[in-house]
Structure 1
Amino acid sequence: MNTERPLIVVVGATGIQGGSVVNQLIDTMQFSIRGLTRHTTSEAAKKQTSRGVEMVKCDLNSLDDLTRAFQGAYGVFAMTDFWQREVMANPELEVQQGRNIADAAKRTGVQHLVYSSLPDAKKISHGKYTGVLHFNNKAEVETYMKSLQLPATYVNFGYYMSNWTIDRSMYRHVEHDDYEVDMPVAASTLVPPFDALGDGGRCVVHCLRNPRATIGQSYDLAVEYMTLADMAETLSRVTRKNIRVKELTPEECTRHPIYKLTEITEMYHFIREFGYFGGRSLERTNDTFGTLLNFEDYLIENQFDKILEQ
């Protein structure tokens, strides 16, 4: 009897999404895992190797590299990273990397590709928001993958909960226990919070373990919709500080270290006007993946209750 475990290849195995998938795959003890990275000697890559992951050097710009890396794989989890310096300088590179992933999966006969996509902001906004490239590029790759008729599942990661916890400096101390958080849109803007590092991997592995139900499907991954004000209120409750959102003027955005990037500011305006997922309901997501971690429990579980301690 063949006792070998099916091989899953994880593109970007040291990143947030890929790392989450690796964690969940290890927990299932059902699959062999091959992780792809440009830097196999990095501390993050060495950590994955110590956990039993076969770490392989791979450049997403090389179709040959990807073809070799996908050899023997049953499944692949793949994502492209717009925020790499070379991609931000040449955004079309992200689309080509996605095409390379698709072509390599086709060449090697991958039986289940799970691709981390995002909604098409250009299409949803009827051409108004053409500059949200980290959304639009992934949507273009998804279209290409579908044209190849790959056995694929598409997952759209929601608004990272860690956006609020990764950088303490985003909280501007006003006075006493009062803090402000800058945003380029109104506090009433709805976003779909998602625990990318925890639930991200769980949802992807659920797809890999249930191919008959999930191949050919697309899922929007988020626990619920909340306003930015709701998220600030939740943080206030957990940290026992008074946290509020300050909407920046267009002029203030041009001077802000983050929002001076048109890509980011335009994304928030797209979300405000058309919705992160284009206004789609999350009912199907909840039916498929069950209960996901909510923002308050995320903060508590990750010990962010003391994030603003002086």
Structure 2
Amino acid sequence: LVDKTSVVLVGFWAQGGSVARSILENKHFALRVLTRDVTRKNALEFQDLGAEVVRCDLDDAASVEEALKGAHGAFVVTNFWDHLSKEKEVCQVGAEGKLVADAAKRLGLKHVVYSGLENVDRLSGGKLKVLHFDGKGEVEEYFWSIGVPMTSIRLAAYFENFLTVWKPVKSSDGYYTLALPMGDVPMDGLSVADVGAIVSSIFASPEEFVGKAVGLSSEALTVQQYADVLSRTLGKDIRDAKITPEAYAKLGFPGAEELANMFRFYQMKPDRDIKLTHRLNPQIRSFSQFISENQGAFKDM
């Protein structure tokens, strides 16, 4: 592969933790983790595992440049839900702010793996806006436009969402419902914990993946099939609520309309390559395996 040069982890959140663990385990690269707070619990955990932890503010160009110096590559992930601002997400990495992307270009990083998504606004001709997709899509385009050797990974829906915001809800008739507005269209999914091994495989094969967008998915199931897996594993009667995107958008929680548009886009079947995903991580879990391992999250049902 390559000599023991650094991969820089830009952004923590769920994906970052999985990627960090995989890079530290396979030992092909040294790992440098960027964080605003070097005393935070997961930063200290990665330091104990052998990572170099560096204080960095993604809103400060000088801080970003210093943190990326001498690195072979970087894994970059941002979190729209941290601030609900497409503009802020874009500015931290590319486009207006140009921070991470321009620094990667100036410093000559050999390979950036960016956690991106489609620019739905552009793909739909302005008919459908999914802000947490659109901003990442703009950043993808900017990385490539300035010539950074970059691979974009486009993840499917997280299985982890079924443990929290998509957890089945008990109906007045005694059974449980799964309220995802997908109709009968299969929805791709994967566990975010399995992303790290995929990213490590991509870093190990730059000649195959630089300049490409890679859609990732463990499997694609209909909402009723997801419900059937949950029913079998948990011993509960769980059914598709058959909610429409229009009804979902009116549920009233922060981001409801944004997520309704995301499901409308999912119904258009964006490109996710299940076969390639399994090649990149042969141990990737199915939804059934994931739920079996996480039954404790449903003990209050």
Q: TM-score, with normalisation over the residues of structure 1? A: 0.86
1:205 aligns with 2:200: yes
1:79–1:116 Cα contact (<8 Å) kept: yes
Q: Could you tell me which amino acid in structure 2 is paired with residue 69 of structure 1?
A: A
For these two proteins, the number of residue pairs brought into alignment is 295
Which of 134, 137, 140 is the aligned partner of 1:139?
137
* Corresponding position of 1:172: 169
Q: Does 1:81 align with 2:79?
A: yes
Partner of 1:220: 215
Q: 1:126 to 1:200 in 2, by over 3 A?
A: same
Aligned counterpart for 1:47 among listed residues 45, 57, 76: 45
- Shift in Å, 1:283: 4.1
Change (3 A) 1:75 1:244: same
The 8 Å contact of residues 115 and 153 in structure 2, kept in 1 or not, is answered as yes
Matched, 1:9 2:8: yes
Deviation track 1:201-229 (CA, whole Å, cap 9, x = no partner) reads: 01101011122222222211101221122
Kindly indicate whether the alpha-carbon contact (under 8 Å) linking 1:299 and 1:305 is maintained by their aligned counterparts in 2: no
Match of 1:153 in 2: 151
Distance 1:123 1:284, change over 3 A: farther
Moved over 6 A (4+): none
**Post-superposition offset of 1:242:** 1.1
Q: Which amino acid aligns with 1:138?
A: K
Are the equivalent residues in 1 in contact too, given 2:183–2:223 (CA < 8 A)? Answer: yes
User: In 2, Cα distance between the equivalents of 1:46 and 1:192?
Assistant: 34
Matching of residue 297 in structure 1 with residue 289 in structure 2: yes
Correspondence list, 1:249-268, <5 A: 250=246, 253-257=249-253, 261-268=256-263
Structure 1 stretch displaced more, 154-163 or 240-249: 240-249
Matched position secondary structure for 2:80: coil
The SS at the match of 1:114 is strand
Over the residues paired in the alignment, what is the CA RMSD in angstroms? Answer: 2.4
Query: Could you tell me how far apart the structure 1 residues matched to 2:104 and 2:198 are?
Result: 21
Distance 1:79 1:243 in 2: 34
Mapped contact 1:161–1:196 kept (Cα < 8 A): yes
Shift of 1:284: 4.2
Q: Superposed, which structure 2 residues align to 1:44-123 within 5 Å?
A: 44-85=42-83, 88=84, 90-99=85-94, 100-123=99-122
Structure 1 residue 175 displacement after superposition: 6.5
Deviation at 1:4, TM superposition (A): 6.8
Q: Tell me the alpha carbon deviations over residues 49-72 of structure 1, each in whole angstroms, 9 at most, x when there is no partner.
A: 222222112121222111111011
- Using the alignment, how far apart are the partners of 1:64 and 1:164 within structure 2? 40
Residue 252 of structure 1: how far off its partner (Å): 6.3
Distance in structure 2 (CA, Å) of the matches to 1:91 and 1:49: 31
Q: Which runs of 5+ in 1 are unaligned?
A: none
Instruction: Answer whether contact 1:189 1:227 (CA < 8 A) is retained.
Output: yes
Could you tell me which amino acid in structure 2 is paired with residue 239 of structure 1? L
Tell me the amino acid that sits aligned with residue 117 of structure 1: G
**Counterpart residue number, 2:123:** 124
**CA gap 1:308/1:247 in 2 versus in 1, 3 angstroms:** farther
Q: Distance in 1 between matches of 2:61 and 2:72?
A: 18
Distance (whole Å) between structure 1 residues aligned to residue 277 and residue 46 of structure 2: 29
Identity %, equivalent residues:
29
Q: Kindly provide the amino acid, as one letter, of the partner of residue 187 in structure 2.
A: V
Q: Which residue of 2 aligns with 1:34?
A: 32
Alpha-carbon distance, 1:91 to partner: 2.1
Question: Which letter does structure 1 place at the counterpart of 2:179?
Answer: D
Aligned 8 A contact 1:12 1:19 in 2: no
Per-residue deviation, 1:135: 0.6
Unaligned runs of 5+ in 2: none
Q: Quote the Cα distance in structure 2 between the aligned partners of 1:66 and 1:207.
A: 23
Could you give the per-residue CA deviations for residues 214-257 of structure 1, whole angstroms, max 9, x where no partner exists?
A: 22222111012211221111111111111112134645642443
* Deviation sequence 1:151-170 (CA, Å, 0-9, x none): 111111111011101358x3
Does the CA-based 8 Å contact 1:239-1:305 persist in structure 2?
no
